[in-house]
Amino acid sequence: RQQGGQAGKSLAFLGAGGVFQHSVQLSQAGQGARGLGQARAQALSYEGRHREALAAQRETVRLFEAALDRKRLSSTRNRIAGAYVTLGKIAVEAGDRPTACDSFRRARTMLADLDRTGELITNLNLHKAPLDRSLALCASGGPVSAMRVFD
């Protein structure tokens, strides 16, 4: 696969090390270990280390879900939805169709729930239509390479 795929494209100008350094800054700005883990997963995907990126992002999702078990805050629920979007994007870059479809399905379900309760944050709202297109490909057996959450 091409290095620096979709998951790392938005921060590609930083290079892989810069993406990780950027993630450290986000972490220090209040994102904590979960935000740091997500940025690390994106940096690994940017480097083409998709297997490691998937493992790192799965751990990020686990940490967000553990936080949700303690407090059911809308901010945590939004972060989990975003973490599933990121996991799906990394899975697309890795060519892992089952993980991509499962992650996009989970993200879309959470977005619908957050939207229904009026808690969906704006930047995640922008993912609904692209997620729906990817999920249609999942349902029809379309190729993982055609799934794009961000263009």
- Express each pLDDT in 75-133 by its tens digit: 778 888 999 999 999 999 999 999 999 999 999 999 999 999 999 988 888 889 999 99
Tokens of 34: 């979960």
Q: What is the pLDDT of residues 14-35, one digit of tens each?
A: 444 454 454 444 444 344 555 6
Whose CA is closest to 20, among 6, 30, 35, 5? 35
pTM assigned to the model: 0.70
Give the pLDDT of residue 72: 66
Residue 49 has pLDDT above 70, yes or no: yes
Distance between CA atoms of 111 and 11, rounded to whole angstroms? 24
User: And the tokens for 67?
Assistant: 């936080």
Task: State residue 32's pLDDT score.
Answer: 54
